[in-house]
Amino acid sequence: MLKIENLHATVASKLILKGISLSVAAGEVHAIMGPNGSGKSTLSYVLGGRPGYEVTEGSVTLDGEDLLAMEPHERAAHGLFLGFQYPVEIPGVSNVQFLRTALNAQRRARGEAELSAGDFLRLAREQAGKLGLDMDMMKRAVNVGFSGGEKKRNEMVQMGIIDPRLAVLDETDSGLDIDALRVVGDGINRIMRAPDKAVLLITHYQRLLDIVEPDFVHVLAGGRIVRSGGPELAHQLEREGYSELAGEAA
């Protein structure tokens, strides 16, 4: 599904990604771990098409199509969902308005009929209920006045409504307490664990991976993937830290 080959990228003329190669097949969950400043968030932003992140070498394809040639909204319509470490607030725009507009824009791009207001509200109520958000919160401005846990649950509601094929989740567990972590992890499993979907999950901690069990774990350090393995690699990192593996990136 997702194929990254020799990816190099700069931010403000500084080289951050220094030759990343990674393949994610449909039905798989890949976890990306690594120390601060290693390029994890940069990788997610490059995949999402955030302005200011320049690819200087390499390629990325999604379902065989050139992802880097697409505008961000085209990537979304092609099935890519980007979850942020710090979800942004959008004053004056309600969750319901935002999500119905986004969903119908993607449906139009795929040649599908738009959802009516009634059908959308039923979908939104169903997804919000599964993540512990009531419809009063869905009618509020996007993330305005939400706690950290509410913002992450709201992002999972967004993902459930959009129903992407590839989710790139940047430290979704950041700032979550134990209960919120379980709700978010269960949400990822419910929405994205399917034979035709895939997840690239960026995290610092083993705790989320106990819920969303990855097929593969990769260590990103110094802008490169320095080690790959199965779930046992995450347990090793939890015990030993990154210092030894980070040295391999030098």
* Beta carbons of 155 and 83 less than 8 angstroms apart: yes
* Beta carbons of 106 and 193 less than 8 angstroms apart: no
Give pTM, 2 decimals: 0.90
Q: Consecutive 10-residue runs of the chain (250 residues): their mean pLDDT? A: 97 95 97 91 95 95 96 93 89 92 91 92 91 86 88 90 94 83 90 96 88 95 94 88 64
* Beta carbons of 200 and 169 less than 8 angstroms apart: yes
- Number of neighbours of residue 58 by Cβ within 10 angstroms: 17
Say what the pLDDT of residue 245 is.
64
Which of 187, 78, 91, 71 minimizes the C-alpha distance to 133?
Answer: 187
Q: For the chain, give me the number of helices (H) and strands (E)?
A: 10, 12
Distances (CA, A) of 71 to 40, 226, 227: 21, 30, 31
- List the domains of the chain with CATH numbers: 2-247 (3.40.50.300)
Query: SS3 for 248?
Result: coil
Report the distance separating Cα 120 and Cα 107, nearest Å: 12
Q: How many CA atoms lie within 13 A of 239 on its CB side?
A: 5
Q: Which amino acid is present at 214? A: P
Q: Which residue's structure tokens are 């986004």?
A: 102
Give the N- to C-terminal CA distance of the chain in Å, as an integer: 30
Say what the pLDDT of residue 249 is.
53
Report the distance separating Cα 87 and Cα 172, nearest Å: 9
Report the distance separating Cα 42 and Cα 20, nearest Å: 12
Tokens coding 81: 């969902």
